[in-house]
Structure 1
């Protein structure tokens, strides 16, 4: 039986620029960083105190050229992920000051307060402070 979701893969064009964005702007921490002899790299990030890891995957050295090109064509086209926060307005201001691009300002909705931002490749993320139950 399934136990838990351990990793999500995010296709990136450049591991270093993606690592800087997610750690410096969004507050993720680097978890694993292993380089193979063929130039490929296993690089994961995660939020402090959360087990789930995101694989920052540059397919260039991992796959045949045609397969890598197909994967790179998907950069910036991930479905929206939802990140919870307990202080939406504070997180919004910190992210804005760090240069994160927001597509919407904070707004109250029936399920809480939300704002949409993008990463350096244009992937959309929903920042959500859930309503109190």
Structure 2
């Protein structure tokens, strides 16, 4: 068994697509209209184009707003992305105007940082030694 798909709820799919591709560096995998403004919109790592997909899921369901608000208020990331060098990625993204809620922090065998994805989520960057 493998993880095939994970999702993050986004306030605006087009804005999310720009952020996750142009800023974070993911690549669009699927973009299928679902009727209305919603799309089945996924991105993948360019390092693993056939790997796990991230669905940029519309935030329309009534449970999503309170869920996302509670996570952000408590500083809890919606998901986590592995990087090779958290401080270097922090500097690269900060230079692109990304807002971080947590600068690179060493916690034993891992280093993390947390960013705001501009679509209502906190995202953790992590590297394990």
Q: Which runs of 4+ in 1 moved over 6 A?
A: none
* CA root-mean-square deviation: 2.2
Instruction: Tell me the CA shift for residue 44 of structure 1.
Output: 0.5
- Aligned residues between the structures: 122
- Structure 2 CA distance for partners of 1:110 and 1:34, relative to 1, 3 Å: same
Instruction: Tell me the CA shift for residue 53 of structure 1.
Output: 0.6
**Contact 1:114 1:127 (8 Å CA) reproduced:** yes
Equivalent in the alignment of 1:91: 89
Equivalent in the alignment of 1:69: 62
Deviation per CA, 1:78-101, whole angstroms, max 9, x where unpaired?
853222211222111111011211
Q: Which runs of 5+ in 2 are unaligned?
A: none
TM-score by length of 1: 0.77
TM-score by length of 2: 0.79
Tell whether 2:45 aligns with 1:52.
Answer: no
Deviation per CA, 1:16-40, whole angstroms, max 9, x where unpaired?
0110111111111100001144543
Instruction: Tell me the CA shift for residue 75 of structure 1.
Output: 4.3
